[in-house]
Amino acid sequence: MPVGRTVFAELMSYVSPRKFRTCVDRYHGDDKTSRFTCWDQFLCMAFAQLTYRESLRDIETCLRALQPKLYRMGIGTRIARSTLADANETRDWRIYADLAQGLIHTARTLYANDPLAIELGNTVYALDATIIDLCLSVFPWARYSSRLAGVKVHAQVDLRGLIPSVVDITSVKCGEVAFLDDLVLEPGAFYIMDRAYIDFARLHRFTEEAAFFVTRWKRNLCVQRRVSRPVDYTTGLISDQSVVCARAHARRDDPEPLRRVHYLDPDTQKRLVFMTNNFALPALTIAHLYKARWQVELFFKWIKQHLRIKAFYGTSENAVKTQIWIALSVYVLVAIVRKRLGLDVSLYTLLQVLSLTLFEKTPISTAVFDTGSQFEDIPDRNQLQLFNL
């Protein structure tokens, strides 16, 4: 590693300058810009994400306090709050959306061989959406009811590594099922989703394109049972059936038979019914596949807790989307660094270490290595008593 390079500079070195420049040129991001470039904007926003800055003034104050070190960060200009605010308001958010997609492609390649909780050679995706709440008086363009405002983030998450492979940001009024319309299906892959995605015309496209879906059953679905297969009741399975839609309009949308699996969860004693277009996997595997869908819920919970996507630095739609996409870029970038450096720590631990060592002139692997081991050799007798017993 070159002498004098900071942790932040090493982290940003994993972003390809050529690919970043391609994203900027595609949307003319640096046109009529002499000093504060898109790269400067990205570095400032990434710094804010990694150090948990609360506002534009907070970012400005911290970066000005670190002015002598900004050159080593890659920022070649003095940071002003108004300049960063204008960049977030006016520069096309699609620059950072395309950057995130490029980082996602790299990360998915690195995590492609990670094991799944289920022994399955196919790619498994989990689909879901979450609402990011906004203040109605500050973000009136995001209104979706008389008192509430927000944006909806749709995601398709690869369960190998919890990497979001497809992300879309829409109005809250946009239903989850509409996300399937533009989704490029991967033949042989499994897509796990909840009942909000049930639409027979859209689900039939999975069968046509040789992909598989697993979802929960809706009680109001009207079907006819064709075949019942034997099941092992000791595993929690209740039934495994082939069914077809009973109503004419639903049968027109999806004329192919579907599979319905009844399962009794041994932990919660809750009866669950699943629907899929896959007839080859064992029924118990179908039940376990749907259980893995919970990982996408954990993904959304994680990014809401550990990334800056609840308090925003700008009020326009462009500023909100820019911040969300840069936050996702930072998440994926940290995942890439963790894999390439072979760091045996969680993303949360890595983020915490980075937040405190960004301007240290040390390799990331050294900063993270054996975190906490300095306390292992302290004898117990030196530990002070909290209470005198």
pTM beyond 0.75: the answer is yes
Q: With a cut of 70, say whether residue 383 has pLDDT above it.
A: no
pLDDT tens digit string along 325-375? 999 999 999 999 999 999 988 888 999 999 988 888 889 988 887 554 444
| Averaged pLDDT, 246-275 | 87
pLDDT tens digit string along 124-156? 999 999 999 999 999 999 999 999 999 999 999
CB 4 within 8 A of CB 72: yes
Domain ranges of the chain: 7-95+315-366, 194-292
Average pLDDT, the chain: 88
| Averaged pLDDT, 28-39 | 87
For residue 132, give both structure tokens.
């990011």
pLDDT tens digit string along 174-183? 999 999 999 9
d(CA 80, CA 57): 9
The CA–CA distances, whole Å, from 94 to 120, 214, 246, 277, 384 equal 35, 32, 44, 35, 55
Q: With a cut of 50, say whether residue 386 has pLDDT above it.
A: no
pLDDT at 371: 52
Give 256's pLDDT tier (boundaries 50, 70, 90): confident
Per the model's pLDDT, the better-predicted residue between 248 and 95 turns out to be 95
Helix (H, G, I), strand (E, B) or coil at 262: strand
